[in-house]
Amino acid sequence: MPVLLIHGFPFSSEMWKAQVAALQENGFYVIDYDLRGHGQSGIGDGQYTVELFVDDLMALLDHLGITKAVVCGFSMGGYVALRAIERNPERFGALILCDTTSSADSNEAKIKRAASIKLIKKDGVRSFAEGFLKAVFYEQSFSTKQNAVESVRKIILSNSITGICGALLAMASRTDTTEALSKISVPTLVLVGEYDTITPPAAAKAMHDRIQNSKMHIIANAAHMSSMENPNEFNEHFIKFLKNLNILTD
Ligand code: MLT
């Protein structure tokens, strides 16, 4: 059974480099793709919703002839994965939720998204990117994980204003998937950076408490970008979880 990775905002499949290498080394069939408006994917009109991202995900699985996958979503990718499993549970063999939340945006968060759109349209992606990097990385990572910071900066700057603003609107208008968590029956792994302030450990714990068959691990020395700030610890939990699923022969 393939393992499909969904990146966060405003990134691309590039963020999964360390995970793709580790999963392939361990013999897993990995699929990473760029969400609409991100990375190498088409941008279109920028009028995105999480529903549309889920439509795209289902179309991708259909196109590849995949009936079931292990789906791993990071942050905004987690919002997509959570709505997708609510809509199409039959397509999921297992679920991995990284630095994400089932809660919808509060009014305050929606207003912040609107302010970000205004800033990006006025000043471009660069000034938004610098503030965003400070919010998603652990302070110490700016000196200890310079390569990770630089690579995220590059990924953000390679995305378009239309794509980034479209994703902000999609996140602001997404539904709350908390009620559906108790219906998730596939094995689920919840990972979160110990210093994540965007989707904090408390949000991860709240999902873990509601998903029956779930495990949770807190990644040390990492904030929101846990998969890039501490890839060794992140991958260790990820691979251990996948090995227990016995999916290599499916
Ligand atoms: C992400 O990493 O995908 C975003 O920061 C999530 C968000 O802004 O809600």
Q: Ligand 1, residue 105: give the atom nearest the CA.
A: 9
| Residue whose CB lies within 8 A of the most ligand 1 atoms, among 12, 75, 156, for a mutation test | 75
User: Residue 114: how many CB atoms within 10 A of its CB?
Assistant: 13
Q: How confident is the model at residue 121 (pLDDT cuts 50, 70, 90)?
A: very high
Asked whether residue 33 carries a pLDDT value surpassing 80, the answer given is yes
Long-range contacts of 60-63 (CB under 8 A, 24+ apart): 60/33, 61/4, 61/91
Q: How confident is the model at residue 250 (pLDDT cuts 50, 70, 90)?
A: low
Ligand 1 centroid to residue 10 C-alpha, Å = 8
Q: How far apart are CA 154 and CA 20, in angstroms?
A: 19
Mean pLDDT of 214-238: 98
pLDDT tens-digit profile of 227-241?
A: 999 999 999 999 999
The verdict on the CB of residue 9 being under 6 Å from ligand 1 is yes
Q: Ligand 1, residue 99: give the atom nearest the CA.
A: 2
Ligand 1 centroid to residue 8 C-alpha, Å = 6
The verdict on the CB of residue 13 being under 6 Å from ligand 1 is no
pTM over 0.95: yes
Percent of the chain with pLDDT over 70: 99
pLDDT, residue 240, reads 97
- Determine contact, residues 202/107, Cβ cutoff 8 Å: no
Percent of the chain with pLDDT over 90: 98
Q: How confident is the model at residue 246 (pLDDT cuts 50, 70, 90)?
A: confident
The verdict on the CB of residue 171 being under 6 Å from ligand 1 is yes
pLDDT tens-digit profile of 127-179?
A: 999 999 999 999 999 999 999 999 999 999 999 999 999 999 999 999 999 99
Q: How confident is the model at residue 249 (pLDDT cuts 50, 70, 90)?
A: low
Ligand 1 centroid to residue 250 C-alpha, Å = 32
Torsional class of 117: left (φ above 0), alpha (ψ -120 to 50), beta (otherwise): alpha
Q: What average pLDDT does the chain have? A: 97
Mean pLDDT of 110-126: 97
